[in-house]
Amino acid sequence: MRILLADDHELVRETIAAFLESEGTFQVVQYPDLPSVEKALVAHDPFDLVLLDYEMPGMNGLEGLEKILEATRPRPVALISGSADRNIAEQALERGAAGFLPKSMAAKSLVNAIKFMAMGEKYAPIDFMTKEVEESDHPMKKLLTDREFQVLSCLTRGLPNKEIAREIELQEVTIKLHVKTLCRKIEAKNRTHAAMIAKEAGLF
């Protein structure tokens, strides 16, 4: 099976590719952003599955997914993300995505899900899709704007402001402002404390 894997985080991308290729049935081609994916789809033979990081450069939310769906139809295209919520996953599936994979998935489950989608099936992890329903009413989440919540998610993954800015396509100065505001709202002393509070509250 030929898989196109696109993610701007090299470590994440190479880790997933290594897991897949260790199975012996996958050939993985890697790209860091949407423009390079678009060029690859023109230059190469069709892939059995295209796997796109929701937050990588060029995606512009679900617009990037729709572009690639149009370019590869009827071949399957799926999203992978470390911060998108159940709502995004549902919208992606409604627009024709073959599936949605949270980066928190265990390696074996990830490989099985990719095999499943490459064979033409739809996939979204039940625990993720139901867990997010419960979290949507979390009192702490109600304190934050969607963008602040997205930044908080990045903080729990230990990303610096520069990386967060690149991931969600905002200026670094804007990220600093969001960090300061969300820390005040959840009564955190600093970004590390904010991440700790979020994890202890079960938000991520």
pLDDT tens per residue across span 115-132: 889 888 889 887 676 665
* CA distances in angstroms from 145 to 74, 99, 156, 180, 188, listed in the order given: 37, 26, 17, 13, 16
pLDDT at 202: 75
pLDDT at 11: 86
Mean local confidence (pLDDT), 86-113: 88
Long-range contacts (CB closer than 8 Å, 24 or more residues apart) made by 167-171: 167/8, 167/55, 167/56, 167/83, 168/55, 169/57, 169/60
pLDDT at 199: 83
pLDDT at 131: 61
- The pTM of the whole model exceeds 0.85: no
Sequence-distant (≥ 6) Cβ neighbours of residue 181 within 8 angstroms:
148
pLDDT at 133: 45
> Hey, what's the torsion of the CAs at 49, 7, 43, 98, to 10 degrees?
20
Mean local confidence (pLDDT), 33-45: 92
pLDDT at 136: 52
Percentage of residues in the chain with pLDDT exceeding 90? 51
Residue pLDDT, tens place only, 125-174: 876 766 654 455 567 778 888 889 889 989 998 999 999 998 888 899 99
Measure the N-to-C terminal CA separation of the chain; round to a whole number of Å.
33
Q: How confident is the model at residue 203 (pLDDT cuts 50, 70, 90)?
A: confident
Give the chain's mean pLDDT.
88
| pLDDT at residue 88 greater than cutoff 90 | no
Cβ count within 10 A of residue 81: 22
pLDDT at 186: 93
Mean local confidence (pLDDT), 76-104: 89
> Hey, what's the torsion of the CAs at 55, 60, 61, 62, to 10 degrees?
-120
Show the tokens assigned to 38.
């678009």
Whether 101 and 51 have beta carbons less than 8 Å apart is answered as yes
Show the tokens assigned to 78.
């799926």
